[in-house]
Amino acid sequence: MEQELEQLKEQLKKQEKLASLGLLSAGIAHEIQNPLNFVINFSKMSDKLLSDLTEIMEDNKDSLSDDDREEVDDILADLHENMAKIVEHGERAISIIRGILLVSRGKDGEFIPTDVCHIVHEYVWLSYHAMRANYKNFNVSIHESYEENLQPIMVIPQDISRAVLNVMNNACYAVWKKQQEQPDFMPQIDVTVKTEDSSLKIIIADNGEGMTDEVKQRLYENFFTTKPIGQGTGLGMNITRDIIENKHSGKLLFESTLGEGACFTFILPIKK
């Protein structure tokens, strides 16, 4: 009992730090959003100016030698491509920031119409990049399948994003750990969002190390983790089950075969 109380105190301290970091990240996200908007807008303007310059060069191409004309064409093509990349990655950064702000501003327990496919996509890749930052040489093939034209679903967006992040983090760790033991192993994670029988399904499957019978039995137990000390809190899956089953009146299912991988399925009733 004393040991559990000490563990609980440590977890509370971590939760306080996370809450402070959440407020800090929301503030940083808000401040970064404005300069990013300038970067994107000026990139689009510059691309338009490049198009105008290209037209001028076309009208005066006879005044240039063949070599100069070819070099100018190559430079203009490279500039157009670079501008397109700046806009693409700038808009992706804006999308991530909007997701962070959505989570930080959402009221506790508030259901709002949400683009679930967008949230799942953003937090799948947020988990991937976090794993890349923390584990040297980590990589995984992520296959995504999202139902087309899916209408906004009534969910608590900050909670769904947290649930996706928890499961995705575990999937990334499972394939990474298996890769350490099998250098030729090709890690893969499949992510699916679809509707079925008036329900929304979010499926995250990996081909990692899988779970033993003991892990399956203790999966939702508080403070139980298979990760090294300092890398896992043992709270993620219990929180995920609470989000899916209690807050959203849904079901959290999983299946796993040791050595072959695991699959988690969120089944959420579609609220009108």
pLDDT, residue 168, reads 93
Which H or E element spans position 228?
none
Instruction: Please say if the pLDDT value at position 117 is more than 70.
Output: yes
Interval 62-91 mean pLDDT? 83
Higher pLDDT, 256 or 30: 256
Model confidence at 103: pLDDT above 60:
no
DSSP, residue by residue, 247-270: IS--EEEEEEETTTEEEEEEEEE-
> Is pLDDT above 80 for 231?
no
More confident residue, 220 or 245: 245
Judge whether residue 146 has pLDDT over 90.
yes
pLDDT of residue 197: 85
Most confident option among 43-47, 138-142, 178-182, 202-206:
202-206
Q: Is the pLDDT of residue 223 over 80?
A: no
Residue 269 half-sphere exposure, CB side, CA atoms within 13 Å? 8
Residue of 11, 16, 2, 15 whose CA lies nearest to 222: 11
- Mean pLDDT score of the chain, rounded to an integer? 83
Is residue 254 a contact partner of residue 265, using CB atoms and an 8 Å limit? Answer: yes
Residues facing 144 on adjacent strands: 191
Tell which wins on pLDDT, 90 or 92: 90
Say how many Å lie between the first and final Cα of the chain, rounded. 45
Closest to 121 (Cα-Cα) out of 199, 204, 37, 187: 204
What is the average pLDDT across 33-47? 82
pLDDT at position 271: 76
Hey, how many other C-beta atoms are within 10 angstroms of the C-beta on 95?
12
pLDDT at 172 over 90: yes
- 23 or 170, which is more confident: 170
Please state, in angstroms and rounded to a whole number, the distance separating the CA atoms of residues 66 and 54. Answer: 16
pLDDT exceeds 80 at position 55: yes
Please state, for a pLDDT cut of 90, what percent of the chain lies above it.
31
pLDDT at 90 over 90: no
